Chains A and B, each alone.
Chain A
Amino acid sequence: MEIFIGFLCAVLLTVLLVQIAKARELATAVRADHNEEYEVNKLQAGMGVVFMVLFLVACVVSFIYYAPYVLGWGVNTAASEHGPMVDSLFNTTLLVTSIVFFATQFALFWFAWQYRGRKGHKAIYWSHNDQLEMVWMIVPAVVMTFLVVQGLQAWNTIMVDEGDHDIEIEATGYQFAWEIRYPGRDNMLGTKDFRKIGGKNTLGQDWTDAKNIDDVVASDIYLPVGKKIRVRITAKDVLHNFYLPQFRVKMDAVPGMPTYFIFTPTVTTDSMRRRLSASPDWQVADKQDDTKKRYETFDYELACAELCGKGHYSMRRVIKIVSQEEYEAWLDKQEANSTYMSIVRNLTDEEKAKGKVEDPFASTTKGELLFEKLVAIKDRVNTQLKSLNDALIVAKKAKNAAEVTKIEAAIVAMQAQQRIARITNNLEEANTAEREANRIASQVMQANLTTTDNAVIDSTAVPLDSTANKIQ
C-alpha cells in the first residue's frame, strides 16, 4: 500500500514538474534576452559553489564519523604483521589523493562561478601553455613514482614465499563453506586428489601418503599468535576467495591450482576484544545476543570474496587467534579426529568392507604406526599430568604447603614434557619425554592417595560404560 502511494506521489510530482517546466519555458520564450541567461548563470554557478562547499564538508564530516572504519585508524588497525604496511600505504595514498581531490573540486566549481557568463564579461583566448602542461604532467608522474615504489616494496615483502613459515594449513572452499586442514605433527599436509573425494574423505586425501595420517580437518580454526602461517588455498568446485578482513589477507581459491597467502597474526582474539571494549561503538548490546556487549562477542571471521553462487554471502567461519599454549592444547584435542584414523584406520573390518575402504597400512598392526605410538605416549603423559593436577587439588585441600610447592614444581616440569609429547614427530624424543614424565610423577607420588582416588573413579566409569553397551 505504501509502495503504491509512493508510486502515485512520484507520478504526480512528475506531472507537476512538467507543468512548471512548460510554464517556465513559455516565460523565457517571451522575454528572451541575455539578462535572463545571466541570471540563470548566476544561480546555477552559485549552486555549484554551494554544492562544492557542502560536498567537501560532507566528505570531512563523514570521514571523522567513520574514521574507526578507515584502515589503520582506531579499531580497524590490522591484526597481522604485514597489515600495517597495507594500512600505511593506504593512508599515504589517502593523503596525496585528498590534497588533489580538495584542490581540484574546489577549483572546478570556483572557477565556474568566477567565470560565469555575465554582462560585459568575455572569455579569454587561452589555447595552451606548454610549461604549465609540463608541470601538471611531471608532478603527478613524480607522485605516482613515489607511490609505486612504496607500494611495490610492500607488495613484494608481503607476497614473498621463502618457505620459512611456522605452520602451513590448507583452506578449501566449496559451495558454500570452507574446510580447514591442519598438517598435524609432521607439519606437512598430505597429498590429495580430487578423484578420491567421496564419502567421508571430503578432501580426497590420498591415504597411501603417510603425511596424511596425522592431518586433521578441523571444525574450528585456531591459530597461534606471532607465528608465520602459510595458508594453502584451494577450491573444489568454483572460484572462492579466502578473505580475512582484519588481517589484510585475501586470495582466490582456484580449483586445480593451489594459491597461498602468508601472514603472521599479531593480536589474539582476547586482546582484540579488549581493544574494542575501549571504543564506545563496541560497548553497545550485541545484535544477536543482547545479554552481551558487542565487543564480547567479537570474533575474527573468514569470508568468501569471490562470487561463487547463491550462497556466496554465507561462507562464514570463525577464527580464533590464541597463545601458543592454547593452540597446542587445542591441537592436542584435534588429534583424536585425524581423518585417516577415524574414517580408515579405526573402522572395523566389517565397516571397511561395507564402505569399500582400503587401508594401505593394514599390514601394520594396530597401534604400531608411528602416529599411533606418538598419540599413545602423549595420552599417557597427559594422564600423568592430570594425576599431578588432581594431587595438587588434594594437597591444597589438605593445606599442605610443602606438598603444594613440590607438586607445582613437578607440574611445571611435567608440562614441558607434555609439550614435547604433544608436538614431536620423533619417537625417540617422545619416549624420552615419557620416561622423564614418569620420573617426575614417581618422585611426587609414591603410592599417593590420589592415584587410588583416580582408580575409584575409573572403576565406576567402567560399569557405566558396560551397561550402556548392553542397552545398545
Chain B
Amino acid sequence: MADTTILEKDLHGAHAHGEHGHDDHDHHGDRYQSAFIDNYMFSMDHKTIAKQFLITGMFWAIIGAAMSIIFRLQLGFPGADMSWLQPLLGGWINIDPATGTGTLSQEFYYALVTMHGTIIVFFVLTAGLSGTFSNLLIPLQIGARDMASPLMNMLSYWFFFLSGLVMFISLFLNTGPFSGGWTAYPPLSELPQASDGSKAGATMWIMSLVLFVVSVLLGGINYITTVLNMRTKGMSMFRLPLTIWAFLVTAIIGLLSFPVLASGFFMVMLDRTLGTSFFLNEIYIADTALTERVGGSAILYQHLFWFLGHPEVYIIILPAMGIVSEVLATHARKPIFGYKAMVFSILAIAFLSFIVWAHHMFMTGMNPFISNIFVIFTLIIAVPSAVKVFNWIATVWGGAVRFNSAMLFSLGFVSMFISGGLTGIFLGNAAIDIQQHDTYFVVAHFHIVMGVAAFFGMYAGVYHWFPRMYGRFMNEFLGKLHFWGTMIGAYCVFGPMHYLGMAGVPRRYYSFETFNAFSEFDAMNQFITIAAIITFFFQILFVVNFFYSIYKGKKQTEMNPWEATTLEWTAPIHAGHGNWEGAIPHVHRWPYDLSRYEDREFIPQTEPLKEGEKDGGH
C-alpha cells in the first residue's frame, strides 16, 4: 500500500479549513489545487468526478426525456398543431401555408427517437449511473483514497463530455442528427442517400459514440484495478458490499464488450468514408445500383452490435441492482438475503449476458436453427434474475423498513424489474418473438425492465448518498412525491403498451393512421402521452429538489445518518481529496451486520470481531 502512504502525507493539513462553513460548496481538499478550475472542472478527486458524471447525466436526461415528450405528442395527438414548437425546432416543423398548422417532419420524428434512445441508454443510464456511483462509491466503500489512476478517471469524464458535445452539436446540423435508430443498423446508417440523418448526422453520431467507448474503457479499467488492488486491509472479496460487486462486474462486462461495438463502428466509418463494404451487399438506391459495394453482410453488424448491446443492458441494470441491494438492506435494517447467492447471480448474469445476444436477431434472417441455442441461454438468464428478485423480497421480509425516498425507489425498482423481466420470458422464446419482435411489446419490456428500473436504481442511489456527496439531505416530501408520481406515471406510460404490442402495433411508427389494424388505439395513445407529460413533470420536480437541496437542504449532522455499516460513512462529512483524515479504516467483518445482536442494531465493518464471534454471511 505504498501509494496510500504517499497520499496520507499529501493530505496532512488539508483539512485545516474543514470548519470554513462553506457547506454550500464542495470541499477544498486539494492542497495544490485551489482554483475553481482545478476543484470543479479538472479535479481528479473521484467524488468530484462522480458529481460531474451525475450532473452531466441529469442534463442529458432532461434533453432525452424532453425529446420523448415531443414525439409522444406526435403519437398521442396526431394532426394537432405543433407550430408553437417552431421557435425551438425551426424547419423541423412543417407549416402548412394554407392553414398555418404545423406538423412534425417525419425525418425529425425519427431523429428524435434515435437521439432519445442513444442519449438515455449511453449518456444517462451508462455514464450517468455507472459513472456516478462507481466513482463515488468504489474508493469510499473499499477504503481507498482515490481511484488507481485519478488522471485516467478524470479523462474518462472528459471523454464523456466530449462525446456529449459532439452529439449535442449534431442536433444543429442542417440535415439533422442521425435518425436510423439507436441500434444504427446498416445499410440505413451507411447510405446518405437513404435518409437525411445518415448524412453528417450519422458521422457525428459515430464519432460521439467512439469517444464514449474511450470514456467507458478508461473508467472501466480504473474501476477494475481499484477494486482488485486497492481494498483496505481486511476487505476480502466476500466482504465487499454488493454495490462494489456490481460495479466491478459491470466494468468487466464493459471492458469486454465495448471494444466489439467500437470495431463495428469503425467498420461503419470505413464503409461510409473509404468505400469498403463490410455491411453492404447488392444495393440499389436512388436510381443507382451500387455495383462496387458488394460482398458484405448487414447481419454481421447486428452480431457486432448486439454482442455489446445485450451486455450493455446489464451494464445499465447491474449498478442499479447493486445500489438497490445496498439500500434495501440498510433501510430494512436487515442483511441482504443470500449475499453469496447475490454475488453468484451477478456473475452468472454477467457470463450469460455474453451468450444471448442473438435473441435480438431471431427475425433478422439469421439462420433460424442457430436461434435454438440463444433461446436456451436467454431463458436460463431468467433464473439468476429470479433468484435476485426473490432475495430482495426476502430481504424486506422480517425487516423494520424505513420508508424514505431511497427505500421507496428501491422497492419500486424491484416491482419494475419483476414486471419487465417477466415480459422478457415471452420475447426470449423465438416462436413468440415472431409476433412480438419490433412491436410495442418490446418497447414496454425494455422501458420497464431497463429504462424505468435503472432510473429507479439511480434515484435510490441519489437520495441515499446525497448526504455523502453534498453534506445535506434531499427534501423528503418532494422525494416521496417524486416517487409516487414516477411509479404511477411510468406504469401508466408503459403498461398499456403491452396491449398495443399484442395487437401487433409496430414500434417506430410516425403515425398509426396508415394501417387499419394499428389505428384503433387513439384513446390509449393519448392517455400514454398525457401520462408521459405528467411523469416528466415529476422528474423536473426531482431536478428542482436536487439543486435546491445542494444549497438549502437539511444539513447532515451525523457522520452516519442511515446507521449503515459500510465504510463510506466513516469518512468525515465534507471529506477532502483522500477521503479519510487519519489512517485508512480497516475492515473486520462483512458489510451486513444489521440487527444481528439484540443490543446492537448495526455494527460497522470497521469494528473488530469479538472473541469467538464469527463473521456473518456464512
Contacts and interface: CB of A to CB of B under 8 A. Distances in A.
Interface of A: 3, 10, 13-14, 17-18, 20-22, 24-25, 28-29, 37, 40-41, 43-45, 47-48, 51, 55, 58-59, 62, 66, 69-71, 76, 85-86, 89-90, 93-94, 96-97, 100-101, 104-105, 107-109, 111-112, 115-118, 121-129, 132-133, 136-137, 140-141, 144, 147-148, 151-152, 154-156, 158-159, 174-175, 194-195, 197-198, 204, 233, 236-239, 241, 243, 245-246, 248-252, 254-257, 259, 287, 297-299, 301, 303-314, 316
Given A76-B503, A310-B195, A89 B337 contact: no
A299 B499 CA distance: 21
A115 B595 contact: no
30 contacts: A10-B537, A17-B478, A18-B548, A21-B478, A22-B475, A51-B487, A55-B491, A66-B503, A93-B425, A97-B423, A100-B418, A111-B397, A112-B396, A115-B399, A118-B400, A123-B333, A123-B400, A133-B391, A137-B386, A140-B387, A155-B430, A158-B431, A197-B289, A239-B187, A245-B504, A252-B364, A255-B298, A301-B515, A309-B195, A310-B106
Given A97-B426, A105-B418, A124 B187 contact: no
B252 interface: no
B282 A249 contact: no
A78 to B, nearest CB: 8
Contacts of A197: 284, 289
B46 to A, nearest CB: 30
Contact of B398 (A123, A155, A304): A123
Contact of A237 (B110, B187, B297, B418): B187
A123 B399 contact: yes
B430 A151 contact: yes
B585 interface: no
B545 to A, nearest CB: 7
B337 A128 contact: yes
A25 B555 CA distance: 11
A246 B475 contact: no
Given A41-B402, A254-B364, A313-B510, A111 B393 contact: yes
A234 B495 CA distance: 35
Interface in B443-465: none
B285 interface: yes
A178 B49 CA distance: 52
A148 B376 contact: yes
Nearest to A100: B422
A256 B361 CA distance: 17
A237 B425 CA distance: 34
A407 B441 CA distance: 58
A310 B510 contact: yes
A426 B333 CA distance: 84
Contacts of A127: 335, 337-339, 592, 616-617
A298 B146 CA distance: 66
Interface residues of B, number: 130
Nearest to A313: B509
A297 B478 CA distance: 52
Given A90-B426, A137-B387, A126 B398 contact: yes
Interface of B: 84, 106-107, 109-110, 179-181, 185, 187-188, 191, 194-196, 280-285, 287, 289, 291, 294, 296-299, 332-335, 337-341, 363-365, 368-369, 371-372, 375-376, 379-380, 382-383, 386-387, 389-394, 396-404, 408, 411, 414-415, 418-419, 422-423, 425-426, 429-432, 434-435, 437-439, 475-478, 480-481, 484, 487-488, 491, 495-496, 499, 502-504, 506, 508-512, 514-519, 537, 540-541, 544-545, 548, 552, 554, 592, 594-596, 601, 616-617
A250 B362 CA distance: 10
Given A70-B502, A86-B431, A117-B403, 13 more contacts: A14-B537, A21-B475, A59-B495, A62-B496, A93-B432, A97-B425, A124-B398, A127-B339, A128-B337, A132-B394, A148-B376, A250-B437, A313-B510
B476 A25 contact: yes
A25 B477 contact: yes
Would you list the 7 A-B pairs with minimal beta carbon distance, nearest first? A256-B281, A245-B504, A256-B282, A44-B403, A259-B365, A151-B429, A159-B368
Contacts of A115: 332, 396-401
Contacts of A250: 363, 434-435, 437-438
A251 B365 contact: yes
Contacts of B333: 117, 122-123
B379 A312 contact: no
Contacts of B84: 3
Most chain A Cβ neighbours within 10 Å, of B195, B495, B596: B195
A275 to B, nearest CB: 14
B411 A124 contact: no
A268 B485 CA distance: 47
B499 A66 contact: yes
A236 B335 contact: no
B182 to A, nearest CB: 10
Contacts of A66: 499, 502-503
Nearest to B480: A44
Contacts of A101: 418-419, 422
A89 B429 contact: yes
A255 B422 CA distance: 35
Contact of A69 (B368, B404, B499, B596): B499
Contacts of B476: 24-25, 28, 40
A208 B407 CA distance: 73
A154 B431 contact: yes
A299 B434 CA distance: 21
Contacts of B496: 62
A155 B334 contact: no
Contact of A104 (B393, B595, B617): B393
A115 B395 CA distance: 10
A21 B194 contact: no
Nearest to A137: B387
A300 to B, nearest CB: 9
A119 to B, nearest CB: 10
A47 to B, nearest CB: 7
Contacts of A29: 554
A367 B468 CA distance: 90
Contact of B434 (A248, A256, A309): A248
A248 B434 CA distance: 6
Contacts of B502: 66, 69-71, 76
Given A128-B337, A237-B194, A85 B289 contact: no
Contacts of A69: 499, 502-503
B396 A257 contact: no
B393 A108 contact: yes
Contacts of B423: 97
A129 B510 CA distance: 51
Contacts of A306: 185, 438
Contacts of A236: 283-285
B545 A257 contact: no
B363 A125 contact: no
B188 A136 contact: no
B281 A255 contact: yes
Given A14-B540, A148-B375, A194 B284 contact: yes
Contacts of A239: 185, 187-188, 298
A90 B487 CA distance: 27
A215 to B, nearest CB: 18
Nearest to A24: B477
